[in-house]
Structure 1
């Protein structure tokens, strides 16, 4: 089992991909939804199985959805939480993740994206932000976002948690992790336009393979 040193408890569209790149620069091996497109050895079905079978999961990965389980398995891990204003986050999700739901046709099991989208439907705020009907309840979605941040702050002691605002925090991040500050700017990736190009045009889908979902 891999030793998890850092847990990212951040929700979607709050700078998680930029944080992933920042951590990679610091020498960490990270997991992100993009990893399924970039590393064909990471099986989507394993993550989906974990979502539905947490009590028997092999915790050699982590995600915001599983931050409590990850903490139980790796109590000494450091925890990161990137945040952005809730109104801004809601608009970003609406223009990216939700739009991808609305513009992606129904896919059969033979399509490489089929199982990936099943996973995304499940783990993205437990289905709230990839369900157009649920997402239309703006007040509830924003409450869920704020409640998640509040819960993370309650669960982790202050010396184990680092809260980063969207778009920066390189020095704060490095100090928290005990790393030297790299001589490069803090990354800014996966903007709304980049998201559309990557996911809507299916540029990352070539590495995905159809798999059997086991729940």
Structure 2
């Protein structure tokens, strides 16, 4: 299996699905939370890696068949992943913390409130994993709703940490509020600029329309 070549360090709702689509257009097979919802993942292994950071994790197994990875669960493991894949390039997309929080609250937060009994065994495992690891459990412990300012501070601290910790020659930082296009990404990855426009998908409205379908994928068939 080829190791990860591109690692997304940005939290969900910062254009990660558009980035996934863009990387696929550039020839990468890109892991994203959507793959997990489609049953293509190992939520139990990611949970174990989170619970036991001192133990070696089998990242090659968790990312088997993928060449790039963005969004959750990847964003929760940036430190070990850039160590495991030292040649991988890292892309961080920033966004204004207030608009980011509102986007999460009005979309993916709703998934965390679904009664896990509605899901099959895999779905329950995936939901437990996500609530446990995403921003160190702010969905699980109620902090996301109870203390928005603390959650926004964690979000900004994560972005600051990535910019300080990841070697600059391996890091591309983009800002969603300023618009994202092909030029910087393609130059960073050494890829030609596609003839097609940079993808802009998965708005809050679009995701909310899709949520019932995503939930149904995790229910007993």
Question: Would you say same fold, with TM above 0.5?
Answer: yes
Identify which range, 22-31 or 40-49, moves more after superposition. 40-49
Deviation sequence 1:40-70 (CA, Å, 0-9, x none): 3423323223322342211123611111001
Please give the root-mean-square deviation of Cα atoms over the aligned residues, in Å: 2.2
TM-score (norm 2): 0.83
State the TM-score, normalized to the length of structure 1: 0.86
Residue of structure 2 in register with 1:47 after alignment: 46
What runs of 5+ residues in structure 2 fail to find an aligned partner? Answer: 64-68
Q: Is the 8 A contact 1:97 1:130 kept in 2?
A: no
**Runs of 4 or more consecutive aligned structure 1 residues displaced over 3 Å after TM superposition:** 108-112, 129-135, 204-210
Number of the residue aligned with 2:175: 165
Correspondence 1:77 to 2:88: yes
In structure 2, C-alpha distance between the alignment counterparts of 1:14 and 1:41, rounded to whole Å: 23
Q: In the TM superposition, what is the alpha-carbon distance from 1:14 to its structure 2 partner?
A: 0.9
Which fold has the larger relative contact order, with Cα–Cα distance below 8 Å and residues 6 or more apart in sequence? 1
Matches within 5 A, 1:80-99: 80-99=91-110
Distance 2:81 2:105 in 1: 29
| Structure 1: gaps (5+ residues) | 211-215
Q: How many residues align?
A: 206
Describe how 1:58-137 pairs up with structure 2 within 5 A.
58-60=58-60, 61=63, 63-102=74-113, 104-107=114-117, 110=120, 112-129=122-139, 131-137=141-147
